[in-house]
Structure 1
Amino acid sequence: MPLSPGWLINQRYAVVRLLGEGGMGTVYLARDTSLGNREIALKFLRPGGINSETVELFKNEFRSMTRLRHPNLAEVYDFGVADEDQRYFLTMEYVDGSELPRLPRFEMRQRFESLAVQCLRALDYIHSRNLLHNDIKPHNIMVRPPFQVKLLDFGLASAQAESAQSGLSGTIHFVAPERLKGGAVDGRSDLYSLGVVLYELLTGSLPHEGVEPGKVVSSILRGVVRAPRSFDASIPERHEAFVMALLALDPDRRPVNPAAALELLNGGAGGALQLDTAETYASFVTSGRFVGRDRELETLVDLATAHIESAGRDDRLPRFVAVSGPSGIGKSRLLRELKHRLQLAGVRNLTGRCYEDGGVPFQPFVDVLRQLPRPSQVPPAVRPVLDQLVPPEVGETPPEEVSTPAATRPAAEAIGKEEFIAGVAESLAHYAQGAPGVVFIEDLQWSDAPGVDLMEHLLLRPGPAPWLYVGSLRDEEARSAPIGSFLERHGGHQRLRQIRLNPLDAAQVTELIASMVPFEDRPERLARLLADRTEGNPLYLEEIMKALAEDGTLRRRGLAWIAESRSLEAIRLPPSLASAVIQRVSALADEERAVAEVLSVFNRPVASELLARAAGIGSDSAAAAIGALDRLRLVALETTADGRAVVGLAHSRIRDAVYQGLSDDRRRALHLAVARAIETTHAGAIEAVVEELAHHFTAAGEPGPSADYCLRAARKAKGLYYPQRLVQFLERALASLGEDDTARRLPALIDLSMARSNDLADAEGGLSAARTLYEEARKAGDVVHESIALREIGWCMGFLGDDRGALDHTRRALALARTTGDRNDEIWCLNTLGTTLARSGANSEAVGVFDEARTLSAALGNLRGELTVANNATLNYLGLGEADKALGLIEETLATARSHDRTYYYYRYLPNLGNARYDVGDLPGAIQAMEEALAWSREHVFLQVILHCLDNLGNFYSQRGLHDRALRVLDHRQRLPGDGAAEGRQGAAPGGARGGAPAQRPGAGRLPARRPGHGFPGGRLPAGGGGFRPRGARHRSRAGPPEDLLLRSLGPGPGRRAARRSQGDADGDARPDPSRRPAAALPRQAAGQPDPGTLRPGRRSAGRRRARGARRAGGRRQGGVPRVRLAVQRAARRGAGRERIGRRRDRLL
């Protein structure tokens, strides 16, 4: 029974209507909802006759069609099994045209030669791939306006070698005699079937008519055919001769191949028809065999198989596979082959893509989420993240959300960066609905920092992983990109596998070009020449092969192709891939070249309507140009998530060549045209494209709109924890804004200073922006912004070691803030002053400042200020050695955070509770707090907190006598990458609205919390890399923030010594105070201040050697670990100094 319209197959393909039924299956017009309702043809295998043979034939159709891409063949997309009834199906290009029998025969007779030559071109291509169609008939020939012929239905396609002994197949009236006899068959059987189609077109009758199959077969085997001109004398004689030759009973009397058939059709014609065109030759070249990558493909298949079989539950298996290599080396082809394997195996796979310019944060993951149907139930914790990344369409709010009061839903701005990233990861897992699959991510070299942070989270996240991520990247560009740092950090991780593609060697180049066209002789000389010129790059090879055909060096001779031997040594090859592309583009017609140039400026796939608007041409002209470029394989046709067909340049190297070939004036003009077109097209949803508009208006040199859209894009980046893009857009905006536009310049300078100094740890850059802010605020007479500028200057000076200047500017900032009436700003000035005082050693004075800030925060109901200031005050008490006060205050702070459901604040500051408990001698309580913080940070893959907790727990466990547990913890710590900041995440979260959530200065809770203007409450950990920085040392810009500056510069006295003890300063000489901590106390590691020795490459290596030695000895055969453990315990009982205990511990490790 046919499926009814609207029926949803696998939660993806929505049935529109029945298109037709054949011997093997039923074909529906459907919409692919995961690709924005793209119209497709969906073919089901008929359930009545399913057996292993028919299933294999059906899969064979998919295998055959995936190898074929030609202007006169329908393109295949996907293969799958229906969830409902386990029926096999495949999806292919929906040809919006008419079957040949439905078209007026008189009109088709007028187009006879065009129809015939297009069919011959398709058969020539099929046969060159060693395939036969086997089912050519009128219903398998579609004509798309204006007159493009498409051959359909490869359900009976087979290899010619296999068909040599094949039996009867195809529709009886169109089957060649040799098939009926059960003899050997080749491409001439397809020519016979085409002859039957063309005979009927000319005469209106079949050459062998009849209803009973037996009589039809007998007639075919007799081979007597009535001449077409006996039906109608107006039929041209050469048409008759052509058709009759195709219908010859003996295959040897037929044309030997489509080329020979075309020569016969051309006999006596004024203008000879061509079998080869630039478009058809491009099809040959771009569909060569998959060469030189078999080992890599099998590795990928094995990884995918293991992932699916384990259902993503085996933590030892890779979760990420990075396929790298130079541009054009074959990464996309390798992943395409893997995708086809997965489809045949019924494995769900999705694709996301990164873009060089204008993409949104988390771009490939947003693409993936859009391809999956939104589950009916979305966890409340995930909902705000999901709504921000992939907002439901109007009217699509899930039912469970309608009944949830808005006030009870978590707000995206109330969560921190790690929670936001964990929410994205949870969304991906939730959307999987328990079914494992594979996600392809293309062009990872352009992945943004938030996307890389998410990848790190997915890599390290505990628990099941439903998706295996397979990405491609250009290694030459990845080295300086966030993904390069990610791969360097985690290169040895068992969950990450890297596969690098090498250039093809001469033998592989020979095999590849021999598979492109049927050469008369094996093209070894030509292959050696091309291998040397292209360095084994497949894309460059394709472009050169196209160029050689266009200039006549490669040509047909008889049944095969030849390269002119006399000119082979003198071949003028394009000197580079770019020059080969430019040469092809320059030969295009004006409108085709203009469309290619506009696409190079868009630098992403775009809808044809938008493309036409930007190019300034009509939709029909744009469609014609796109069609011509597609046939030349210069563009690729795709479908967006909102259902529109889109087009983009076929490869990034093609884009680069076209774009670099533009003059400066032409480039600016095209960027402006593209920007105006995007602005007009997206007028109702402009926020979705602000990044693109900012990019194009800036490139066009239009300061007004450039500033507007850069500021809007900066706000968006700020909310999505993307400080690098925030800084980029702010700097572009400031370059475009006039000096008198203080209303926008001053807030932008605030955000720029904070983003640089806090999020990117660029104190010098932050100081420069703050000074500019101060000068402009003074000039404008804006006291509010002048106060903020002074506060920012003070903060940055403190980071750069100028404590005197920091205090001076911070006090001036507070004095101004008290004159403006902005009490919230006063809170942050007090917070900054208290931090600066503590950092300069004036901890006692800082107590009063923090108390005033806490009182003011409570009076104003500023919960974020209250929590942040209280945390900093806790740290200050620890610096004074007043651990009891610190413990009471941090307990109160955490209770407040929990009572107000500020989960992120609670766990971000929880390690400080462990530190305070440790300082008062409550070692079990310290362990409990650290373990709780560790569990949360592992769940959210907050690497900096994980490292801090592991460092401290290793020491705490040792002091409790839990040496095996300490060894495991510290061994785990050593296996983690770097210190989690300098070698870790690519920047922190950008700020929120001014006066919003403060962020903490680096230090896993052992640092002062940041001032307002930061949407990432709780802040970050330090970049690490060593102990205290000498006073006055210059701060270097780096990926992560600098070390703990509050405790590095505490003055002498008890506070300084207590701080050094709590810091685990390697140079400290203070012995533990028995009255305040366990007698055997080892130096605990301060939050965010890992043991410097473990971060130095040499020291880490030594640590690894010690750990290996401990493991060897304690296979416990030699008793090495027990002996060293006993030495540590004895040293502790004797009250040995910290230095000696540390040495004992090192031996234990």
Structure 2
Amino acid sequence: MDIFSPNNKIAGRYQIISLLGQSEKSRVFKVVDLTTDQAMALKVFSGQDNGIHHLQHEFRFLSSLRHPNLVQVHNFGSERDFHFFTMDLVEGRDFLAGLLEVPMDERLRLTAELCRALEYIHQNDIIHLDLKPSNVLIPAGGAVKLTDFGLAHSSKSRGLLKAAGTPSYMSPEVIAGQMPDGRSDLYSLGVLLYQVFSGRLPFEAPTTEELVKQHILKSPQPPKVFNPDIPDEMQLLILRLLAKDPNERPASANEVIQEMNRGFGLDLALEQGQAASRNLFHSRLVGRDKEMADLFQALQLAAGGHGTCVFISGETGIGRTRLLSEFALQAQLRDAQVFWTRCYSPDSAAYEPVIQLLSQLLPLAQSFCPEVVSLYGPELMTLLPHWRGLTEIRDHPLPTQLPPNETKLRLLDAISNFIFRTFETLPTSPSVIILEGLHWVDSESLEAIYHLGRNASRSRVLLVGSMRSDDIDEHHPLLGLVERLSLENQAEQVYLKRLSSPEVLALLGNVFYHAEGLEPLALKIYEETEGNPLLIEEAVFYLLESGQIRRRLGQWQVDPYLVQSLALPAGFKQALERKLQALNRHQLRALQGIAVMGRPVSEKMLAFILEAPEDQVTEDLIHLKGRNLLIQIDSTEGPLFGMHHARIEREIHSGLEPELSAALHRRASRLLEQMGPSTCQDFIELARHHEKAGQAEGAKSCHLRAASLLADHAPDQAIVHYQAALRLCSSAEQAEVLRPLLNLYFLAGDSSRAAKAASDLLKLAGPSADLYRRMGACQDRLGDYKRAIDYFNQGLSLAQGDPVTTARIVSSLAATYLHQGELRTAERSCLEALKVLPPESDPLVEAELYNNLGQIYWQLAEWAQAVSVHRKSLQLKERLGDQYGIATSYNNLGQVYYRMYDWDRAAESHQKSFSIRERIGDISGLARSYNNLALIYRHLYDWDKAVDYHTKCLQTMERIGSSYELAVSHTNLGLIHKARSEWDQAIWSYNRAILISSTIGARNVLLDAYIRISELYLSLGSIESAGQYCQQALDLAAELGGRLEQGRGMNIQGRIYQMRRQWDRAQELLVQAKEIFSDLDIRAGEAFILKNLADLHRARGELRQSSLLADRALSLAQRVEEQQLVAEIILLKGELMEEEGSSGLVHLQWALELALRINIRETVWPIYGALARHAAKAGNLPGALDYYQRALAVFKQSCRNISQPELKNCYLFEPRRRQLLRDIKKLRQEVSRNVSLA
């Protein structure tokens, strides 16, 4: 089946409608781009290399050109063995058919349009070389379009041209293989006109060979021979165009128009020289080689599955868009798909660039991975409500309600997953997302972009953002985003500098090819503009407009006296003023209307705003485009017109007289109201126009409408609009705005502004019990507990007779007592509230009270009571169907069971919590569940499960960008790798934790990581490294006042001094550490230090004291079920018994049983060593050798996991390990001696 059959989708994006035309090498189809719902043409070549190169060649040429009489190309891509590009759809007749049916004046007008297209490409040093009827299209009521640049040739090319094209229309010099120029196209134009006016071709022959001979040698018959009605002026022009010698033809396409004007008394417009200025930035890119190389290196990484972000910044007019356009073009030619999003103004709605991207990707997802639409579409309906009608999600339930922060996180995760999973399924690799105008993006969009940036590294996606540096101050959140991603090695920054003097010369040389005397002019322009490309463009426009650079006889000519007398505009503002002064009143008003709208508009919209006839507006727009003030943008609604540069809009808008500004904004608001505002963006724009027009009531209404639409998914921007509405309200209306604003402040964690809003509301609306509860909650968050309690008590005095409100306030009051550490008072408050609350009156409040009690009993270590109240809270939430609450209750139960050392029930509870969180999309809760399960399995010494859950936790934290929890997860994972003797992995995890925590300033996590890595190096015998990290930990603990961490650090330091045999200092530090752990009632830590003290006394020969300390350590370790520590203490006791002359075998075997159960190598091999010594002492040499071999096998296994040679030496020469190797060597010698004697 032909993949180009009607209704088939090409690249999942372009739906085939019909075949428009075909040739030997290519076909052209009418398609609909499903990402934009726009009809366009798709030109496809077969998969042969020459066909691909032919298509790429044409795409490059057309991409570099912008003219109303040329077809604009859009995207390049591939499907199976075919390559294609898309372009404007032009439905109409070809040039011959179109001109045969119209009167003479219309023929001349259309011919002039074709001439302007030819003049334009010739000014840009491009020759078409395939001008024929089918390549010139005339749409109904539209402008002539010159198409098919497959044979186009640059006149800058020095090589000879191989004859190509359609023989009937080829010029003699092209047939002869000579160097062509623009006059070769004019010969083909002559053939076209001959055919139009005479009804036949100038030369006809049975063979191609005979035909080309006639073109070279034979003069054509005058066209009057075949049509006597042809005007003499037209016959003369046609015969001049068909001259064999190019020098006898008109010198340019503009000259053809001039001849028609003279001969027929017309005033047909010429193609202005400003085309050079208009396309200054569509010439070959200059001065950006390094930046392009950086982008392509990033693209290559993305192609290999290592996506990244590149942020491009620079001052106004520096050429960011030009760089991105060239990169997008080249990326498409390398089989990448490119997706653009743009922020047009600072009034963009929340998530605007994300919505644009999701809309573009939806049809691709529907084609390649509909399951992704089903999975994430319900959540994304928050941003795109019209998705509710999609087949893939029509019957899906709405997402479970979560707290605001979790809801936002789930939305961000859905955005990220939808985008990346869609890209994963696309047949092309890689994909590029261009985010243009990030300096105007909202805070919610920045969060989404950060989320995308963090998750790009495992994809085939390159994100490229651009921003204007002079529109961003040092406090702009965008800078923080870029810095964070850069610190995390997820992004690169590219700053565009101004062009150098040689680069300015090269740029002008590309535009004014072969012009002489450019060097001094380029230097002058460089000095005046300082290399800013926008100012260079304005300078070139000025030179062309003033005639100081002109095109004559097909060549650019520079006035030789230009540099001495040249007075360029002093900056952009003066250049703009010169342009504006040359405009008439209607043209200036059109610009002002577009500036007021603040976004591209259609002719009809602008006519409404200006209250002007559409014909007048059309003429004005054409003129403004020609003067480089406007650009035309194609859209699904038809052509739109926007400012050539954002700075033009700012300058014009700021210069408006107040009365005119208000009048234009008033018309703009009426236009938008007539169009029927429905989206958040509509209401935001309408609010702006109402405000600028002085229509406070309308502005307030639109701000409130926008805020209500934004509140659920974009609270930051909702707050902005509520604040704006508040400023426009009367005193009587403010209370109704303050209520939702207070709620948003509180949910956003902005307690200070929430407290201020509550205070203002109190003054406006008077006291209420619920308002005092809110005020108390704000003060509780701010840490002013006394004030919070006072507000709660005032609320209680107003709530008398309302048990539910009373219970709600008492619940908040109990939380404050809990935060104050008044646990029993908090307990009494909760119990009193539960008595007051009527049964089943408000299960949510009742569940919260039980939950508070659970937290209180947790703090009091009253575990049975904690379990009981958490179970009651769980039952209530199950009755309510509150899935998030149920998951939280199971999590709380799991935490309590964990502290009770009831591992099985802890694991069961956390597993239930995990299952619910996974189902409802509670992502950070899911990460916490992973972590909790990992901790349980770590205590159960199930290392595989512990690693699995910690890794999943780590992956989730990386996905959601929670750097703090990420650092904690790396520390936890390092601890497990250490227990499994996976030394390299442990070091990497700890170092990663140190890097992240130091980057984000999480000093408590950094402190823990320092201690952990110090312990690891101590275990490896690297005393110097252990000491360095330990000292860093002690210094930081002293700064933070962390007494527990000081105790941990002292313990490590004491062991270091012990290894250095500095016994007194070691004992002093260990005793101080033990006192800290005893004071803090941390029994596991105290047991560990008692064991270390026992080791110390044993090393000093004080066996009795060592044994007493070991007994105390064992009692504590058994009580807290620290099995590794228990095994190590039992080993110590067995060795002490051996050294005291009694048998420690029972203890050694007991220790081995425990050690094998927990599977920690560094605990196992010393026990094997002790058993070997026991067997040797008993004369059981084979038994001793067997134990030593087992110890050595475990020992070697651990050693293999150390890659650093110096660290491996430390490990091998640590005293206990070195003694083991000596014992083995000695035993082998003894065994050998016994064998010899035997």
Please give the TM-score of this superposition, normalised by the length of structure 2.
0.72
Whether the aligned pair in 1 keeps the contact of 2:78 and 2:335 (CA below 8 Å) is: yes
Structure 2 residues not aligned, in runs of 5+: 908-930, 936-948, 1004-1035, 1041-1074, 1091-1200, 1217-1238
- Paired position in structure 2 for 1:738: 730
For residues 252-308 of structure 1, give each alpha carbon's deviation from its aligned partner in whole angstroms, at most 9, with x where no partner exists. 433444456566666677677664427645434343321111221122123223312
Per the TM alignment, residue 517 of structure 1 is displaced from its structure 2 partner at its CA by 2.9
- Paired position in structure 2 for 1:1086: none
Aligned to 1:52, which of 49, 57, 60? 49
Q: Say if 2:319 is the partner of 1:330.
A: yes
| 1:468 counterpart SS class | strand
Letter in 2 for 1:750: R
| 1:719 counterpart SS class | coil
- Paired position in structure 2 for 1:1057: none
Higher relative contact order (CA 8 A, sep 6+): 1
Q: Say if 2:173 is the partner of 1:178.
A: yes
Partner Cα distance (2:569, 2:842) in 1? 67
Per the TM alignment, residue 791 of structure 1 is displaced from its structure 2 partner at its CA by 2.7
Aligned to 2:418, which of 394, 407, 427? 427
Inter-CA distance 379–908: structure 2 relative to 1 (3 Å threshold): farther
Partner Cα distance (1:1074, 1:377) in 2? 51
Letter in 2 for 1:1117: E
Whether the aligned pair in 1 keeps the contact of 2:680 and 2:710 (CA below 8 Å) is: no
Whether the aligned pair in 2 keeps the contact of 1:38 and 1:644 (CA below 8 Å) is: no
- Paired position in structure 1 for 2:1204: 1115
Per the TM alignment, residue 713 of structure 1 is displaced from its structure 2 partner at its CA by 1.6
For residues 54-111 of structure 1, give each alpha carbon's deviation from its aligned partner in whole angstroms, at most 9, with x where no partner exists. 331122111111111123222111222235xx32222112235542222243745334
Alignment of 1:976-987 (within 5 A): 976=996
- Paired position in structure 1 for 2:738: 749
Aligned to 1:660, which of 654, 661, 667? 654
Q: Say if 2:703 is the partner of 1:718.
A: no
Aligned to 2:700, which of 682, 707, 710? 707
Per the TM alignment, residue 921 of structure 1 is displaced from its structure 2 partner at its CA by 6.9
- Paired position in structure 1 for 2:965: 946
Aligned to 1:363, which of 352, 360, 377? 352
Per the TM alignment, residue 776 of structure 1 is displaced from its structure 2 partner at its CA by 0.7
Inter-CA distance 416–150: structure 2 relative to 1 (3 Å threshold): closer
Per the TM alignment, residue 887 of structure 1 is displaced from its structure 2 partner at its CA by 6.7
Partner Cα distance (1:1121, 1:749) in 2? 67
Inter-CA distance 211–110: structure 2 relative to 1 (3 Å threshold): farther
- Paired position in structure 2 for 1:511: 506
For residues 187-238 of structure 1, give each alpha carbon's deviation from its aligned partner in whole angstroms, at most 9, with x where no partner exists. 3321211111122233333211345434423322322112234555664544
Per the TM alignment, residue 509 of structure 1 is displaced from its structure 2 partner at its CA by 1.2
Whether the aligned pair in 1 keeps the contact of 2:967 and 2:993 (CA below 8 Å) is: no
Alignment of 1:240-251 (within 5 A): 240-251=235-246
Q: After superposing the two structures, state which structure 1 stretch, 657-666 or 322-331, moved more.
A: 657-666
Aligned residues: 992
Inter-CA distance 750–633: structure 2 relative to 1 (3 Å threshold): same
Partner Cα distance (2:812, 2:1209) in 1? 51
- Paired position in structure 2 for 1:532: 527
Partner Cα distance (1:899, 1:108) in 2? 83
Partner Cα distance (1:759, 1:120) in 2? 62
Aligned to 2:1081, which of 1057, 1062, 1073? 1073
Alignment of 1:164-175 (within 5 A): 165-175=160-170
| 1:377 counterpart SS class | helix
Whether the aligned pair in 1 keeps the contact of 2:1077 and 2:1083 (CA below 8 Å) is: no
Aligned to 1:674, which of 651, 655, 668? 668
- Paired position in structure 1 for 2:755: 767
Letter in 2 for 1:9: I
- Paired position in structure 2 for 1:304: 299
| 1:41 counterpart SS class | strand
- Paired position in structure 2 for 1:486: 481
Per the TM alignment, residue 756 of structure 1 is displaced from its structure 2 partner at its CA by 3.4
Inter-CA distance 6–789: structure 2 relative to 1 (3 Å threshold): same
Whether the aligned pair in 2 keeps the contact of 1:133 and 1:190 (CA below 8 Å) is: yes
Q: After superposing the two structures, state which structure 1 stretch, 487-496 or 1070-1079, moved more.
A: 1070-1079
Whether the aligned pair in 2 keeps the contact of 1:595 and 1:611 (CA below 8 Å) is: yes
Inter-CA distance 791–977: structure 2 relative to 1 (3 Å threshold): same
| 1:1117 counterpart SS class | helix
Per the TM alignment, residue 691 of structure 1 is displaced from its structure 2 partner at its CA by 2.5
Per the TM alignment, residue 355 of structure 1 is displaced from its structure 2 partner at its CA by 4.1
Whether the aligned pair in 2 keeps the contact of 1:837 and 1:843 (CA below 8 Å) is: yes
Whether the aligned pair in 2 keeps the contact of 1:442 and 1:472 (CA below 8 Å) is: yes
Q: Say if 2:966 is the partner of 1:974.
A: no
Per the TM alignment, residue 920 of structure 1 is displaced from its structure 2 partner at its CA by 5.6
Letter in 2 for 1:417: K
| 1:423 counterpart SS class | helix
For residues 11-64 of structure 1, give each alpha carbon's deviation from its aligned partner in whole angstroms, at most 9, with x where no partner exists. 2223333332334322223222211x222122222x4xx632233112211111
Q: Say if 2:765 is the partner of 1:777.
A: yes
Inter-CA distance 3–1073: structure 2 relative to 1 (3 Å threshold): closer
Letter in 1 for 2:282: S
For residues 1091-1146 of structure 1, give each alpha carbon's deviation from its aligned partner in whole angstroms, at most 9, with x where no partner exists. xxxxxxxxxxxxxxxxxxxxx9993615798799999xxxxxxxxxxxxxxxxxxx
Q: Say if 2:799 is the partner of 1:810.
A: no
| 1:328 counterpart SS class | coil
Inter-CA distance 724–1073: structure 2 relative to 1 (3 Å threshold): same
Per the TM alignment, residue 579 of structure 1 is displaced from its structure 2 partner at its CA by 3.7
Aligned to 1:928, which of 926, 933, 940? 933
Inter-CA distance 920–536: structure 2 relative to 1 (3 Å threshold): farther
For residues 123-157 of structure 1, give each alpha carbon's deviation from its aligned partner in whole angstroms, at most 9, with x where no partner exists. 23323433221111122223356673322111211
Letter in 2 for 1:205: R
Partner Cα distance (1:2, 1:350) in 2? 24
For residues 383-410 of structure 1, give each alpha carbon's deviation from its aligned partner in whole angstroms, at most 9, with x where no partner exists. 321222223468x431x54555x47x64
Higher share in helix? 2
Per the TM alignment, residue 833 of structure 1 is displaced from its structure 2 partner at its CA by 1.7
- Paired position in structure 2 for 1:319: 308
CA RMSD, 1 decimal: 4.3
| 2:487 counterpart SS class | coil
Partner Cα distance (1:650, 1:344) in 2? 27
Inter-CA distance 226–733: structure 2 relative to 1 (3 Å threshold): same
| 2:165 counterpart SS class | coil
Per the TM alignment, residue 357 of structure 1 is displaced from its structure 2 partner at its CA by 3.5
Per the TM alignment, residue 244 of structure 1 is displaced from its structure 2 partner at its CA by 1.7
Q: After superposing the two structures, state which structure 1 stretch, 6-15 or 290-299, moved more.
A: 6-15
Letter in 1 for 2:770: I
Whether the aligned pair in 2 keeps the contact of 1:446 and 1:481 (CA below 8 Å) is: no
| 2:311 counterpart SS class | strand
Partner Cα distance (2:933, 2:3) in 1? 63
- Paired position in structure 1 for 2:1152: none
- Paired position in structure 2 for 1:833: 813
Whether the aligned pair in 2 keeps the contact of 1:954 and 1:967 (CA below 8 Å) is: no
Whether the aligned pair in 2 keeps the contact of 1:385 and 1:412 (CA below 8 Å) is: no
For residues 641-699 of structure 1, give each alpha carbon's deviation from its aligned partner in whole angstroms, at most 9, with x where no partner exists. x665544323322322222222233333333322222222125x355622322333233
Alignment of 1:258-657 (within 5 A): 258=253, 275-277=270-272, 280-308=275-303, 310=304, 312=305, 317-372=306-361, 373=363, 374-375=365-366, 376-378=370-372, 382-392=376-386, 396-398=389-391, 400-404=392-396, 406=397, 410=400, 416-432=407-423, 434-435=425-426, 436-461=430-455, 464-478=458-472, 479-518=474-513, 520-639=515-634, 645-657=639-651
Whether the aligned pair in 1 keeps the contact of 2:967 and 2:996 (CA below 8 Å) is: no
Alignment of 1:81-96 (within 5 A): 81-83=78-80, 86-96=81-91
Per the TM alignment, residue 738 of structure 1 is displaced from its structure 2 partner at its CA by 1.9
Whether the aligned pair in 1 keeps the contact of 2:96 and 2:192 (CA below 8 Å) is: no
Whether the aligned pair in 2 keeps the contact of 1:830 and 1:850 (CA below 8 Å) is: yes
Whether the aligned pair in 2 keeps the contact of 1:242 and 1:264 (CA below 8 Å) is: yes
Inter-CA distance 280–979: structure 2 relative to 1 (3 Å threshold): closer
Letter in 2 for 1:319: T
Whether the aligned pair in 2 keeps the contact of 1:607 and 1:644 (CA below 8 Å) is: yes
